[in-house]
Amino acid sequence: MREEDLLIGSLLEETWMTLEQVAAACAVEPDWLRRHIDEGLFPHAECVSGVWRFTRVGLVRARRMRQLERDFDAAPELAALMADLLEEMDRLRARLRHTGA
């Protein structure tokens, strides 16, 4: 991995998106995202001074959950569980790449 790739990845990871930006990027209404937050399905979302903010991980999670709900008519809780499993697989794959396996 090049140093430039690491820097870009770090910058993207530290970038915050608002609830409205994430909703627009996922082609959902902000209320869809708020309901899921209220149900505790976005553990990494933060509310600062009344404004919800998300990292790139939250955006990926929202897209995955929306796709699962749409394509498989999955209940939000099941879509969140599947998103958890996919996130864990992503982490494990990244560890394998890092170790050179």
State pLDDT tens for residues 33-65: 999 999 999 998 999 999 999 999 999 999 999
CA distance 87 to 92: 9
Domain limits, the chain? 3-99
Is the pLDDT confidence value at 3 over 80?
no
CA distance 5 to 11: 10
- Round the average pLDDT of the chain to a whole number and report it: 89
Is the pLDDT confidence value at 16 over 70?
yes
Can you give the pTM of this predicted structure?
0.81
Cα-based distances in Å from 57 to 40, 67, 100, 101: 16, 15, 23, 24
* CATH top class, domain 3-99: mainly alpha
CA distance 41 to 49: 20
